Amino acid sequence: MIKNDIRFNLRHEVLKTVAENEYNGTLDRETIDSIPFNIIPGTTAKFRCCVYKEREIIRQRVRLAMGHLPIPINNAEHIEMKKHIIQVIPAACEGCPINRFQVTENCQNCMQQACKKACAFDAISITPRGAYIDQTKCRECGKCSEACPYHAIADLMRPCKRSCDVNAIVIGSDRIARIDTDKCIVCGHCVTGCPFGAISDVSQIRDVVAALKDPNREVIAIPAPAAEGQFGPNVTIGRLKTALKKAGFDRVYETALGGDLVSMHEAKELIEHKKEGKKMTTSCCPAFVNLIQKHYPNLMEYVSTTVSPMQGNVRYIQEKHPGAYIVFVGPCIAKKHEAEMLEAPDAVITFEELNALFDALKVNPEECEEEIEADATSYGRRFSSTGGVSASVVKAAAEVGVEGITAKVCSGVKECKIALAMLKAGKLAEDIIEGMACENGCIAGPGSIAMLNQLKAARLKKIKDKDDDSITDMLEKMEATEVDMVRKSFDAPSK
């Protein structure tokens, strides 16, 4: 079941239209200008204050779909725009004109006056009608809300800010949300957290379509392990491979193969760390790595130098198919940032974008035949869910003769921050931290398009009764034992 969400449907229509016209060679200025009118016809508004605002939002979405910022940097409105994977769509942001803490009608005007006593800024006064918050004095500490015995003070934090666990969403004087790129870890939680769909990622779907149309380019897709069940409960990775080839991709390799590569290399790296009495963290989730790099820089020495499964696959393919155009497909927006930092692969699109591409090219994965040949173990496929990475590393360590590896499994940014604080304080009992920025793991990423229960069921089918899979044997079968898996740097390229 695909997400039933108006925000998703509008994004889908824009992405599909851009992909369709790019493929047909009709994405000229006149077509681009007509897209908002085709998607929002007539003169009656459906979602916003007026049809003109709705069309302006679509126009800015079209720019994102084409790989541009929602409005030019040198825009006439003088709205600050920064180049970043995640963008706030100015026309779509409602400004949410709300004060965070507000006294509701549940206030009983009680004699205890706990709210007033709890406020260190003298922002609360007691009136005949109940408590009153002077918003000019309020510092949004939340003590009044915690103190009220009737829970009569509501916490109305803007959804985008609430979704961000690293405080990267800032509100300007114009009430429009902005992203502090120095703090942002590109997890994409704000993209799904905004009820108006006012935050989105820059797309590379147009570049992918152009590559598919080029008869002189070999184009290879590497779908993430979270692909199982994304396009229907019965759409396995085997059917998705067939669908991708129908869409024009010449070859398809599971990113789960990169997971097997990571499992073996990271296990050997962890074994060396353990011998030296050192702790380690995983490095496959780019948002988790960004969290450490930006918010816990003193802990970078503990981050595994093993590249992510995506990078492992890219390196494997570059050896087998030099010059190929490689496209990662997954649920993760942070992978776009990782690709930008490491200058590989050539493009990253989410399952949401692939779904639009399939619709544009009239490819239905549910009607595709199953490709039987496997190019990864069930352990590589476990990377899609919380606990899967550490389970795979433990298995790989056992295959090289080391038992007793322990892992601190973290599901979501909040848990990651707690584990990192323990590591910083020297109180981490486990050998390795498995950090996943998304709760439940990659299957709950912002680029996923199916319901979580469907994705969990599909994943379980794929790994059930396969605990005896051999990572060593699979890497030998795929001739992947010599792939260089060391990450040279965590910094952006100099250019």
User: How many residues belong to the chain?
Assistant: 495
> Residue 103 forms beta bridges with which residues?
153
**Exposed (0-12), middle (13-18) or buried (19+): which is 223, by Cβ within 10 Å?**
buried
In angstroms, rounded to a whole number, what is the distance separating the alpha carbons of residues 53 and 51? 5
Phi, psi of 35 (to 5 degrees): -55, -45
CA dist 369 and 354 (Å) reads 18
480 and 320 Cβ atoms separated by less than 8 Å: no
| pLDDT for residue 461 | 87
Q: Do 131 and 91 form a contact (C-beta atoms < 8 A)?
A: no
Q: Which two tokens stand for residue 480?
A: 């992947």
Give the span between the Cα atoms of 13 and 412, in whole angstroms: 30
Residue 78 is predicted with a pLDDT of 84
Model pLDDT, residue 495? 38
pLDDT along the chain (495 residues), means of 10: 80 97 97 97 91 96 98 88 95 82 94 96 95 92 95 92 95 86 97 95 98 97 96 94 98 97 97 96 97 97 97 97 98 97 96 98 96 92 96 97 96 98 97 98 96 91 89 97 90 54
Express each pLDDT in 94-127 by its tens digit. 877 678 899 999 999 999 999 999 999 999 999 9
Neighbours of 159 (CB within 10 A): 19
Q: What is the pLDDT of residue 373?
A: 84
Instruction: Report pLDDT for 382.
Output: 95
List beta partners, residue 169. Answer: 179
Least Cα distance to 365 among 461, 252, 485 occurs for 252
Does 149 sit behind a cis peptide bond, omega within 30 degrees of 0 on the bond before it? no
- Which residues on neighbouring strands pair with residue 171, listed in sequence order? 177
Question: What confidence score (pLDDT) does residue 5 get?
Answer: 85
pLDDT (0 to 100) of residue 313: 97
Going from the C-alpha of 428 to that of each of 190, 226, 293, 390, the distances in angstroms are 30, 29, 19, 16
Q: Three-class SS string for the chain? A: CECCCHHHHHHHHHHHHHHHHHHHCCCCHHHHHHHHHHHCCCCCCCCCCCHHHHHHHHHHHHHHHCCCCCCCCCCCCCCCCCCCCEEECCCCCCCCCCCCEEECCCCCCCCCCHHHHHCCCCCEEEECCEEEECCCCCCCCCHHHHHCCCCCEEECCCHHHHHCCCCCEEECCCCCEEECCCCCCCCCHHHHHCCCCCEEECCCHHHHHHHHHCCCCCEEEEECHHHCCCCCCCCCHHHHHHHHHHCCCCEECCHHHHHHHHHHHHHHHHHHHHHCCCCEECCCCHHHHHHHHHHCHHHHHHECCECCHHHHHHHHHHHHCCCCEEEEEECCCHHHHHHHHHCCCCEEEEHHHHHHHHHHHCCCHHHCCCCCCCCCCHHHHHHHCCCHHHHHHHHHHHHCCCCCCCEEEEECHHHHHHHHHHHHCCCCCCCEEEEECCCCCHHHCCCCCECHHHHHHHHHHHHCCCCCCCHHHHHHHCCCCCCCCECCCCCCCCC
